[in-house]
Amino acid sequence: MEVLTKSSDRNLTIRLEGELDHHGAKKSMRELERAVESALPLSATLDFSGVTFMDSSGIAVVLRVLRRMRELGGTLKLTKVPPQAKKVFDAAGISQMLTIE
Amino acid sequence: MKAENYMNLEFLSKSSNESFARVAVAGFAAQLDPTLDEIGDIKTAVSEAVTNAIVHAYPDRLGKISIKTKIYEGKVLEIVVRDWGRGIENIEQARQPLFTTGGEERSGMGFTIMESFMDKLTVRSTPERGTTVTMRKKISVRLSDRL
Ligand SMILES: Nc1ncnc2c1ncn2[C@@H]1O[C@H](COP(=O)(O)OP(=O)(O)OP(=O)(O)O)[C@@H](O)[C@H]1O
Ligand SMILES: [Mg+2]
């Protein structure tokens, strides 16, 4: 799992690459949190286009970022979510809590 | 009911085995000619069951995980994921959406996802003895099956 970040003007884009399972989440959670804490963004985007697999471990990761963004008074958006990951978000009922494009 | 084919796996509860386990089961299921969507469902369900064994069954040690996969007549795939770990005290409660003993890193949606991606989910468990999760899914019949 790779975490690639880009930020300007308190807009943060994080591109996730690889398999977002428990193994991948363990590795990337800290990097994600570090990216959010250093950018303190008002708007954050998680780009899922490089996610080749996701299970419930990914839900916990997204919810963690969502919680932090709400504390910061900012918004979170997910983009380019592949069908397999989208199905997991839908089954968990969190598609309504987020903007998923 | 007699199985038409089977495949058994056994591995240590290391998180680095998660990917291998779901890919192996999906590879075995490939002979049923599943759709991409069905392959995704199978991988996801296996990943949930295996992750539970790694995270919850053996929280502070490494232990054995086994997966037994069978194919029955009518394109029915059965997957049995077993561990010999801590076990589940209250299965009904554990299967509720959002119930977790895993803290911030877990969402409590694993069983809910297994249930929605497979046709049938059975959980048997004995505290301090281990847990067996049995899942079944009927793979759709397609035109190519008739050829
Ligand atoms: N193999 C197992 N051994 C022991 N306890 C288990 C096992 N599988 C599940 N559990 C218990 O059942 C609970 C619910 O499991 P479930 O997979 O639904 O959610 P989770 O693992 O906590 O979170 P998520 O799967 O969303 O990451 C777990 O928190 C744990 O207490
Ligand atoms: Mg789980």
Q: What is the pLDDT of residues B28-45, one digit of tens each?
A: 999 999 999 999 999 999
Q: Is the CB of B13 under 6 A from ligand 1?
A: no
- Buried b vs exposed e over A38-59: b needs ≥16 C-beta within 10 Å? ebebeebbbbbeebebbbbbbb
Q: Which ligand is nearest to the CA of A22?
A: 1
* DSSP element (H, E) containing A67: helix A56-71
What is the average pLDDT value for chain B, to the nearest integer?
Answer: 96
Q: Is the CB of B85 under 6 A from ligand 1?
A: yes
Task: Enumerate the active-site residues of B.
Answer: 48, 52, 106
Q: What is the pLDDT of residues B104-116, one digit of tens each?
A: 889 999 999 999 9
Q: Do the chains contact at A22 and B43, CB–CB below 8 Å?
A: no
Q: Is the CB of B54 under 6 A from ligand 1?
A: no
Domain A2-100 has CATH 3.30.750.24: yes
What ranges do the domains of chain B cover? 3-142
What contacts B57, CB < 8 A, 6 or more positions away? B13, B63, B65, B83, B84, B85, B86, B87, B130, B131
Residues of A in contact with B110 (CB under 8 A): 55-56
The CATH architecture of the domain made up of B3-142 is 2-Layer Sandwich (3.30)
Q: What is the DSSP letter of B61?
A: S
Model pLDDT, residue B28: 98
Q: What is the ipTM of this complex?
A: 0.94
What contacts B89, CB < 8 A, 6 or more positions away? B127
Q: Using a pLDDT cut of 70, give the percent of chain B over it.
A: 100
pLDDT confidence band for A95 (50 / 70 / 90): confident
Q: What is the DSSP letter of B55?
A: I
For residues A53 and A21, the answer to whether their CB atoms sit within 8 Å is: yes
- Which amino acid, residue B103? G
